[in-house]
Amino acid sequence: MQRIKVGDTAFVIAGKDVGKTGRVVEVLKSKERVKVGGIAIVKASQKPTPKDPRGGIINKLASIHISNVMPVCPSCKKPTRVKINFEGERKRRFCKKCNSAF
């Protein structure tokens, strides 16, 4: 089970965007990277296409290594580590600080 999932709020703990938060847009599980909205925006060259005949330079989301982000607990609103426990027969993610499920 992953400690961070799409839709979670993530807090950046390392890199150039330290201290910023944003929503997780995509998790690249095989590469151990995540894309967080509003974080790690890079410029990319776009070739002209039938949809966009002008092309040019666009802003694009870059990925961050998963170890550089922490999920933010929805109940205590703090970045936290995640513990995984069984609730019945299901695995659930719990906040290490306030012990609430998310």
CATH of the domain at 60: 2.30.30.30
pLDDT at 24 over 70: yes
Residue 50 lies in a domain: yes
Residue 46 lies in a domain: yes
Residue 101 lies in a domain: no
Alpha-carbon distance of 66 to 24, in angstroms, equals 11
pTM over 0.85: no
Q: Please, which pLDDT band fits residue 2 given cuts at 50, 70 and 90? A: confident
Contacts of 89 (CB under 8 A, 6+ apart): none
Q: Give the pLDDT score at 1.
A: 64
Strand-pair partners of 10: 22, 71
Which residue range forms the structural domain that includes residue 62? Answer: 9-73
In the chain, how many domains are there? 1
What type of residue sits at position 22? G
Residue 45 lies in a domain: yes
